[in-house]
Amino acid sequence: ITRRILGSAGCTACKLGVGLIQEVVASYKSEEEIRIQIERLCIYLGIEDERVCEGLSHEFKDEVLTVFDKLVLGPKEVCSILITDCGDPYNPLDDWNITLPETPKPPITPIKPPKPGSPVKRILQLSDIHLDVLYKPGSNAVCNEPLCCRPDDGQPGKGVPGAGKWGDYRNCDTPIWTLNNLFEHLQQISHQFDIVYWTGDLPAHNIWNQTRQDQVDILKRLHDLFVKYFPDKTIYSALGNHESSPVNSFPPPFITGNRSISWLYDALAEDWSTWLPNTTISTIKRGAFYEVSPFRGFRIVSINTNFCNNRNWWLLLNATDPAGQLQWLINILQQAENNQEKVHIIGHIPPGIKDCLRAWSWNYYKIVNRYESTIVAQFFGHTHNDHFEVFYDENDLKRPLNIAYISPSVTPYSDLNPGFRIYTVDGNYNGSSWAVLDHETYLLNLTSTNMYNTPKWTLEYSAKKAYGMNALNPADWDILITKMSTNNTLLNTFYRYYFKSRPDGSCDETCKKKVLCALRSGRSHDER
Ligand SMILES: [Zn+2]
Ligand SMILES: [Zn+2]
């Protein structure tokens, strides 16, 4: 996640800023002059401090120049896309529809629980590692920049504790020794999982000074770590929004040449090929998405959610199904349906949150509706919190039909404990449903770990037991939400896990409404 970068600047500041940038870009000044204007604007609007603004202006110069040069939208439209709650003017770029095949939707059959004693597979999900190779214990953890706890953040203020050894609750990412410790722990329990879903956001939050080479290096470094610790496991990756340079910058295929994203997608194709067949290479190079069938009757589809990322400014030029990904997804799902296969979708940005552009999100929702019997579950990250989104029948919003799990982050960024999750799914045998039967979430309590200097990864909770659920089908999650609306104990249990057992008070009425509404929103910008 990137909490700032225009996010905090507010609606008015955004419109002002966009208007000014448009003027500057149109004035045919030199690239360096334009960059300086961007830097000044960043400082003037109080987006970040001078050091960060200077870095950001270098990082974003190319993107801003290209996008604003070709942009046909005005400040009002741009800011309604970039900023949450900044008006809702009609935006022609946000108005497009995917085409579903004419094959009629098969009748819905109720999900049957597996026979007792049926085999299960276990899936480890790691999300949002945000590795900081420069993390420095004892350094300043309150630096008023997007990332602290690093050597150039100076000394902590008087009476303010410095960065903890194993990580910190303030704006700090994952130290390498904490990550190594996690991998050592996972290696010890590697008999407890069969495959891995790794759902993106690898680099730290130092978004103002990350080069393309830095990003490729982090990708390789983490890839090598997986190979070292889990030589026998297959890792299925999805792309995060932090993997690019600059952050959130994922030009669709219509941008070619040096400003294209091939530097990253080629590296992904190379690194991911350790675990994926050659059949995945062409779509990874085109748009960082792929599908693969690890077991008979079962497919994993990895999607690139940066094509719905509202901070991916390239989409201001054309947001219509970038790289043809959703149309491709429909093809894959139709094939799977024809073959009576089951599908897990993995991705990074959950489709129901405001970071996901409305048109993409609503089209995706339509696809999930059409293929509800084929898609068994979805797995995302990005928010760093522990939650989920229930998808409903578009024509009968009371009928739950799908579930997206949003797994907690490895990074403590920010004010969280590091965590990971293991799912138990029905499989692998002839006719297995691949439904999630239960999941367990583990965490590292940073307070005690830093206090006693002994990292211990412990079970936080298992879903069925903690929430008193019979099964983990979409209907069961829907029932849980309904229960939470009247049962405050249950609500506060969920709320505690949402923040990975960091005390954050209890959830009052306003909070409750917000939380429960979000759990029912698999479609973004859909308040009712
Ligand atoms: Zn993240
Ligand atoms: Zn993210």
Task: Please state, as a whole number, how many other Cβ atoms lie within 10 Å of the Cβ of residue 185.
Answer: 17
**Structural domain spans, the chain:** 11-90, 121-135+173-482, 138-172
Identify the sign of the CA torsion 107, 110, 111, 117. Answer: negative
Task: Give ipTM to 2 decimals.
Answer: 1.00
Ligand nearest to the Cα of 349, by number: 2
- For residue 247, the ligand closest to its alpha carbon is 2
Distance 489 CA to ligand 2 centre (A): 30
pLDDT for 86 equals: 81
In this predicted model, what pLDDT tens digit does every residue of 236-274 receive, in sequence order?
Answer: 999 999 999 999 999 999 999 999 999 999 999 999 999
From ligand 1's centre to the CA of 102, what distance in Å? 38
User: 221 alpha carbon to ligand 1 midpoint, in Å?
Assistant: 18
Q: For residue 381, report the distance from its CA to the centre of ligand 1, in Å.
A: 7
Phi, psi of 117 (to 5 degrees): 85, 0
Cβ burial of 245 (10 Å; 0-12, 13-18, 19+) is buried
Q: Is 348 annotated for ligand binding?
A: yes
Which ligand places an atom closest to the C-alpha of 127? Answer: 1
Beta strands in 239-297 (DSSP E): 290-295
| 485 CA → ligand 2 middle, Å | 29
In Å, how far are 100, 417, 445 from 450, measured between CA atoms?
53, 12, 9
Which residues make Cβ contacts (< 8 Å) with residue 231, sequence separation at least 6?
Answer: none
Q: How far is the CA of 241 from the centre of ligand 2 (A)?
A: 5
Question: Cα of 347 to ligand 1 centre, how many Å?
Answer: 12
- The Cα 238–Cα 149 span in angstroms is 28
Could you tell me which CATH number the domain at 121-135+173-482 has? 3.60.21.10
The tokens for 204 are: 């730290």
Count of H-run helices and E-run strands, the chain: 15, 14
CA distance 180 to 183: 5
Q: Can you give the length of the chain in residues?
A: 528
Task: Round the average pLDDT of the chain to a whole number and report it.
Answer: 94
- Within 71-189, residue ranges assigned H as helices are 75-82, 176-188
- Ligand nearest the Cα of residue 348 is 2
Q: How far is the CA of 427 from the centre of ligand 1 (A)?
A: 30
Q: Do the domains 121-135+173-482 and 11-90 match in fold?
A: no
pLDDT for 17 equals 84
φ and ψ at residue 357, rounded to 5 degrees: -55, 145
Q: How many angstroms separate the alpha carbon of residue 244 from the centre of ligand 1?
A: 13
pLDDT band at 9 (very low <50, low <70, confident <90, very high): low
- State the number of CA atoms in the 13 A half-sphere of 145 facing the CB: 25
Helix runs in 274-324, H state only? 281-287
Instruction: List pLDDT tens digits, range 84-107.
Output: 778 776 677 778 999 999 999 999
Cα(130) to centroid of ligand 1, in Å? Answer: 7
Give the largest Cα separation in the chain, rounded: 71
How many CB atoms neighbour CB 199 within 10 A?
A: 29
Output the six-digit token pair for 291. Answer: 């599908």
How far, in Å, is the centroid of ligand 1 from the Cα of 1?
4
Confidence of residue 528 (pLDDT cuts 50, 70, 90): low
pLDDT in tens, 415-450: 999 999 999 999 999 999 999 999 999 999 999 999
Q: Is 128 annotated as a binding residue?
A: yes
Which ligand is located closest to the Cα atom of residue 380?
A: 2
Closest ligand, as measured to the CA of 241: 2
439 annotated as ligand-binding: no
Residue 261: left (phi > 0), alpha (psi -120 to 50), or beta? alpha
CATH entry 2.30.30 includes domain 11-90:
no
